[in-house]
Structure 1
Amino acid sequence: MIKNGLFSVLAFLLSFPMPLLAADAFLIQNGQPQAEIVISKKPSRTTRLAAQEMQTYLKKYRVQN
């Protein structure tokens, strides 16, 4: 079950490589977040972990740029 959920998240993220590479164009602008990570009130463990990973990555990106 976890593998399927993780695969789904990775497949989704990899299906949009260009916007992710240009993240500052719409996710972060001038060091400030321009979007929110939204998950359900009762997310699966995989969804919660994926959201945390994305948040960690974006915080690191924001600090570096």
Structure 2
Amino acid sequence: MPLIGWVFILLAIGLVLGSLFMLRDSAGKFRISDDKMKKIQERKAELEAGESAEDREN
């Protein structure tokens, strides 16, 4: 394979790895307020209660 092919392959690998590392680093920066977290947990509990009620009916 010519040299330019290896350069493109290395560049593509570098871009993918760089994107993954940036995604990993930014994953913890999004904070949810306490009010929103409470609403999320309440909604989750409602959904789980509904699913368990459906399971009991079947």
Please give the TM-score of this superposition, normalised by the length of structure 2.
0.38
Larger Rg: 2
Report 1 or 2 for greater relative contact order, CA contacts < 8 Å, sequence distance ≥ 6: 1
Task: Compare the two structures and name the one with the higher strand fraction.
Answer: 1
